Amino acid sequence: QVQLQESGPGLVKPSQTLSLTCTVSGGSISSGSYYWSWIRQPAGKGLEWIGRMYASGSTNYNPSLESRVTISLDTSKNQFSLKLSSVTAADTAVYFCAREVGRGSNFWNYWGQGTLVTVSS
């Protein structure tokens, strides 16, 4: 059974870079044919897809965040990461990592529990 777990600082200062890692267990991120995604949810609000990455290095980002986002894979650690630069209070949210159901399916049945990141000085 695939499991995902987010980790990273819970507090980031404005204008700095938010960095999160998703550790995957129960399956290899490099051997499977899946895209690995980040999705976020401000408190009391809806979900926003941030972007996705395939083991080959192929990425897709939400245009609303594309200029500030980088998603990368570390296959040696079976992890993938999110970096979001120049953060503001509007980036305060619960951040989820997720794996899609099947290659290119673009909907998700494996999710991490989510991690709250607060942007504040």
Interface residues with other proteins (CB under 8 A) are: 45-49, 60, 62-64, 96, 98, 101, 105-109, 111-114
For residue 119, the number of C-alpha atoms closer than 13 Å in the C-beta half-sphere is 20
Which residue in the block uniquely carries the two structure tokens 């609303």? 64
Q: How far is the CB of 48 from other proteins (least distance, A)?
A: 7
Residue 116 CB, shortest distance to other proteins, in Å, is 10
Task: Report, in Å, the least distance between residue 60 CB and other proteins.
Answer: 6
Based on CB atoms, which residue is closest to other proteins, 48 or 78?
A: 48
Handedness of CA 63, 66, 70, 72 (dihedral sign): positive
Looking at the Cβ atoms of 44 and 76, the one nearer to other proteins is: 44
Q: How far is the CB of 98 from other proteins (least distance, A)?
A: 8
Smaller CB separation from other proteins, 57 or 63: 63
Phi-psi region of 50 (alpha: psi -120 to 50; beta: other; left: phi over 0): alpha
Question: Rounded distance, CA 31 to CA 73, Å?
Answer: 13
CA 65 centroid distance within chain: 13
Cβ distance to other proteins smaller for residue 81 or 96:
96
